[in-house]
Structure 1
Amino acid sequence: MSTVMGPLSLQRENREFRNTGGRSEENRPLGFRPAFKDVASGTVYDSRFADGRPAPFHLLDGLPEDVVVQREPGGRVRRVKESIVSGFVLDGRFYTREEAAREVAAIAA
């Protein structure tokens, strides 16, 4: 991976995937849940608030310490490992944003 994920990269991804089905707002009604995958280990993490509650959008603050690279002075996650990608879980399967967008388009067709 060439980009370390942080809040700004999540904002960029949300702009890039607007109106494609690759954003939480667009695929949540179909049952997709925001998640992250460590492509190095294969581990999938549901997106969570720092206190552990499920988050309805991609939020880095609930990721475990072993994937966090840097925190802000107030404790918010600033960067995570390069092997972390954002995506969604549906029926136990992880979808990248691109895969989720294709799946949403297929469902809508």
Structure 2
Amino acid sequence: MLEQGPLSPRSGTPPPATNLPLPQSLLSGFRPAFCDVRSGEVRLCRTIDGELAEAHTFEHLPQEWVAECDGGGRPVRLRSEIRAGFLRGIDFWRLSDLLRPTLDA
């Protein structure tokens, strides 16, 4: 399940993806993301302000994905079922996939 849009710190629920314009970089480039291997849910990385991040960050991930927080309540470690990777279009690429990419013919 792909969810897009800025997350509300209070609700943790993003706005519906159908109401959001998708930037060209999201449609054609690789965006840092995390995937829950149990459910297949993918979340794009976001900054503290909720903007799309250019690097992997733990901000705005579902609380159930977090294994440990620091003294200020910020995530510092994720559960073992959560994998880092990149979202390109609708495909999630694990870091290991980038070593042996399947190329279009």
TM-score, normalised relative to structure 1: 0.62
- 1:99 partner SS: helix
Letter in structure 2 aligned against 1:81? R
2:91 paired residue among 93, 96, 100: 93
Rounded Cα–Cα distance in structure 1 between residues aligned with 2:50 and 2:63:
13
- Alpha-carbon separation, structure 2, partners of 1:100 and 1:60: 21
Secondary structure at 2:101 match in 1: helix
Deviations along 1:51-78, one digit per CA (max 9) or x if unpaired, are 3211100111221212112211123211
CA–CA distance in structure 1, aligned partners of residues 98 and 30 of structure 2: 8
Whichever structure has more helix as a proportion of its residues is 1
Q: Which has the higher contact order (CA 8 A, sep 6+)?
A: 1
Q: Which runs of 5+ in 1 are unaligned?
A: 1-29
**Unpaired runs of 5+ in structure 2?**
1-27
Taking the aligned partners of 1:55 and 1:61, their CA distance within structure 2 comes to: 9
Q: Which aligned segments of 4 or more residues in structure 1 are displaced greater than 2 angstroms? A: 100-104
1:11-22 matched pairs, under 5 angstroms? none
Match of 2:56 in 1: 58
Q: How many residues align?
A: 78
Report the Cα distance in structure 2 between the residues aligned to 1:53 and 1:41, rounded to whole angstroms: 24
The whole-number CA distance in structure 2 between the counterparts of 1:63 and 1:72 is 15
Task: Give the letter aligned to residue 33 of structure 2.
Answer: A
Name which of 33, 38, 56 aligns with 1:40: 38
